[in-house]
Structure 1
Amino acid sequence: MAKSSADDEELRRACEAAIEGTKQKIVLSMRVAKSRGIWGKSGKLGRNHMAKPRVLALSTKAKGPQTKAFLQVLKYSTGGVLEAVKLYKLKHLSKVEVITNDPSGCTFTLGFDNLRSQSVAPPQWTMRNIDDRNRFLLCILNMCKDLLGRLPKVVGIDVVEMALWAKENTPTVTTRRTVQDGPVHVAAAVIGSDLKVSVEKELVSQAEEEDMEALLGTYVMGISEAEAFSERLKRELLALEAANVHAILESEPLIDEVLQGLDAATSCVEDMDEWLGIFNVKLRHMREDIESIETRNNKLEMQSVNNKALIEELDKLLERMRVPSEYAASLTGGSFDEARMLQNTEACEWLTGALRGLEVPDLDPTYANMRAVKEKRAELEKLKATFVRRASEFLRSYFTSLVDFMISDKSYFSQRGQLKRPDHADLRYKCRTYARLLQHLKSLDKNCLGPLRKAYCSSLNLLLRREAREFANELRAGTKASRNPSAWLEASTGSSQSGNSADTSAVSEAYSKMLTIFIPLLVDESSFFSHFMCFEVPALVPPGGGTNGNKSGSYNDNGSDDDLGIMDIDDNDSKSSKNSADLVALNEALQELLDGIQDDFYAVVDWAYKIDPLRCISMHGITERYLSGQKADAAGFVRMLLGELESRISQQFTRFVDEACHQIERNERNVRQMGVVSYIPRFATLATRMEQYIQGQSRDLIDQAYTKFVSIMFVTLERIAQTDPKYSDIFLLENYAAFQNSLYDLANVVPTLAKFYHQASEAYEQACTRHISMIIYMQFEKLFQFARRIEDLMYTITPEEIPFQLGLSKMDLRKMLKASLSAVDKSIAAMYKKLQKNLTSEELLPSLWEKCKREFLEKYDSFAQLVAKIYPTENITSVEEMRELLATM
């Protein structure tokens, strides 16, 4: 038999070293295998529940008169050193179960009742053999019986079997050991030859075992005697019960004494119960009286608290309803002088707060229908109506008086020889005094703002129109510029364009100055009006700046002139949210504020057009820049004014273009036209001047004018050419060439003119081709008619058959060549004279003659090829000879 690990002294010393310092003594130590797997039918552990080597050690620790028992779990760390990993107290051991699925019977579990998670299966411990298992379990049971006085529940193993095993393998020797202060009797087990002492003890004593054997020996019988044995047991049970009854009867005197004592105690208890009933009734009555008194006390206390709260609430309500005498005086009869505006503002603030305080959101709904509250609300409404009426009347008369004072003083306006920039700083300063008042009027009664806005607009409209009229009149009177004729393309003007070169830039500068002064002014007035008259719209002008189209700076040089320096009184007003209804109302009011001022702008535009129609181009560009800078939707009138100005300038320029086109069409009435028509060089001069005026603006206006001009010019050329078909091609090629020569430089930089340049070039080439072909056919008609007849027959018959056709024989060919080419040099010279005869532009002759020689040589080349193909035996003048002859001409 292999030596048990319980007898391994080195293992015991390693365990004692692992728990050194805990004052515990090792009783038994044994190597085991730990697993959490479930034993299957094959008796092997599952793959995921592999066994791990562990050491189980039973230890004791003396604490006073008691001795505590522990179960230590130790494992091998790195290097093979034992270290403690778990400690269980045996007093919590509740169950010892041997796993029945393990065929070897060496696996068991120990259940403790103090483990936190009872849902996790306890670890399974596997011994090397049955002897180790029995030895370890007997040691645990003996320690539980001796030290704890109880045994845990044992499952899966027979206790008698274990007792028999212990008797066979453990000779018992009783020894005495002293553990600290008190002696403890334990069973010393000597096993094997080493006679080592352990703390094991028999489960059944020797005397109990002998009694059990004697009892079992008395009843030695077979299976057939079971009924007799049962009858015997019944008889003995009846005898025992009779003996018990007899013993009870013998103790009757004692029972009587006990009964008498119980009767006396019962009477005392009954008396006590009666007294307690009486006391209970009295206590119940007393408790009812106390509850009644407490109820009355609580009601009185609650009434006192409610009365106090009611008095405080009434005091608050009375204070809210009281009208201070100084505010009442300001609201009903106070002055609106600047010195009194602070008191008026405070009175308005108080009145607004008082009215809001008597409304349901700020006032308890219970008080809303009280008579006193209704009367006070009516009184405050009357105060509000009185104040709003007085303030509205004052402001209407105030606006009128301010404007009348400024109109009566001529120094505010432009005068002869002196342009006066409108200055409304003093006007706005005086209006700002009452800006806060308007805010309060809006919060008190929004309907009162309509008449006030109307009065302000009608008054200020007079001032603005007067300023614009005086400024425009003086602007026109002080601008000196020579008048340019509008008949730019009329033939009767003559060929000289010296009169059209006058400098009219002062006209554009005057118009720009008009916009520079008044457009920012109108934007600032619109912005100031929207803020001053409490419109809920976004800001019209970015803070600290004017319109983007104003290069020389905004009229408002001192920053945000429309900022009134006040905050919105109404908390519901939001500057970031756009109120479309207010925006519509604002634009309607601005229309009334600024209506009529556009007439003075129109007068400047018309004046500029009369001086120089081409200045419409510059004015259109200036207006476009200002229009692109107006991005605030609320300045609707200013955008509308600029849009109408742009439209009027376009109309004036369109009028000029239409008149010029009408001048071009007059040339068609001349029956006999020779040479270059007059409007082509005039158009080049006009286009050059227009390009000088465009100054980087959008080209739509100019390109539309170019398209209209050139279309009319080309159509008129074609119509004039049709009046004399004999000279139509000469007329067209001369004029198209003149158009290209006059617009060559501009066409390189203006895409629209480049398109018409190419169009004229194509028309010129076509006219040249037609005219040259006509001259060639006039001199060599028979030659090329003969070639044309041959070409026509080649579509129907073979080349060999053509010489046998009528009029196309070799003899006919020789006659034709003799008539056409016998004096070819003279024919070519006549062709040159014919080309030169009706051409008025001598500079075109060299290029036309080169084209003519090239065209004639190409035609002769094709004729020579036909002759070589149809009449191979005939000799004619070669192409090279003809080329050399043409080169000498």
Structure 2
Amino acid sequence: MTAIKHALQRDIFTPNDERLLSIVNVCKAGKKKKNCFLCATVTTERPVQVKVVKVKKSDKGDFYKRQIAWALRDLAVVDAKDAVKENPEFDLHFEKIYKWVASSTAEKNAFISCIWKLNQRYLRKKIDFVNVSSQLLEESVPSGENQSVTGGDEEVVDEYQELNAREEQDIEIMMEGCECAISNAEAFAEKLSRELQVLDGANIQSIMASEKQVNILMKLLDEALKEVDQIELKLSSYEEMLQSVKEQMNQISESNHLIHLSNTNNVKLLSEIEFLVNHMDLAKGHIKALQEGDLASSRGIEACTNAADALLQCMNVALRPGHDMLLAVQQQQQRFSDLREHFARRLASHLNNVFVQQVILALILASSCSLLYNVLP
């Protein structure tokens, strides 16, 4: 497998500025055994891109070719099938589910462990690992620009990590500065050890200084958290106030609706009352004329005639639906009926008296004429 890793790194990934971190020999589950390789890779340029690449050997068998690559951020689920028993099968859930069978459980576990560590370091969206042993899912060191993937895959990264131009220059200067490097390896190693101790001391001082900065930062964070809590309390109080205002506005809106409805009803009621008052109100003068008017004088007769006409209009008014159910309307109609009957009795009595008087007068005149006729020769 080491030789295959070297060949894949040299022929496929190095030309694309990629590093091969882990590899597993697989075939598709339930199909003919057409072996291929799943490779976990990272790019050497920033921003770092993490991929799972499927590599297949050519039909002639003399070289490898890159078949398909998936971005690790598109991986949703890794299903190892069984967290207890050894099982070479596993599933990778990208846009669809890919079912694989590894050549060995050890290769499968190493590949899944590498995927876990890459996920912990490079991805914000965490992949869901199902049926995976907790021993494989080790906590990774927090991601940073100069950190490498921890665990067994670190050796693979270091194996293919090339020195840059500055590092090569520094090593040449260091070798030139130590004349005994070739003749006396022990002296050269001792010098390197001393320089390493000096660097360790500088690192310790840097760490202590950074610890103070971290303490200051932690204090600032604590103060920021306190301010956030205060802001949350204020926001909660504002929310309660807004809720109270909302309830009051709802009550005001409901009250306004009721007031508007009441005003509308009052306007309609006033219109009905005005209609009844205008059409069913008989003037006091007409009532007095009907009750006590002088039927013997021309002036009294005219007043009674006008009053009778007004009474007839009040009694014949076309009432609207529901008016006849009102007690006041019923009482007014009864009053008009009583007034009409009273006036009718007065008028009949007056006409009767006038008729009797006219008859008596006619009799007197007839008697007078008869006497005169008898007296005259």
TM-score (normalised: structure 1): 0.18
Higher-Rg member (1/2): 1
TM-score (normalised: structure 2): 0.39
Q: Which has the higher contact order (CA 8 A, sep 6+)?
A: 2
Higher percent of residues as strand? 2
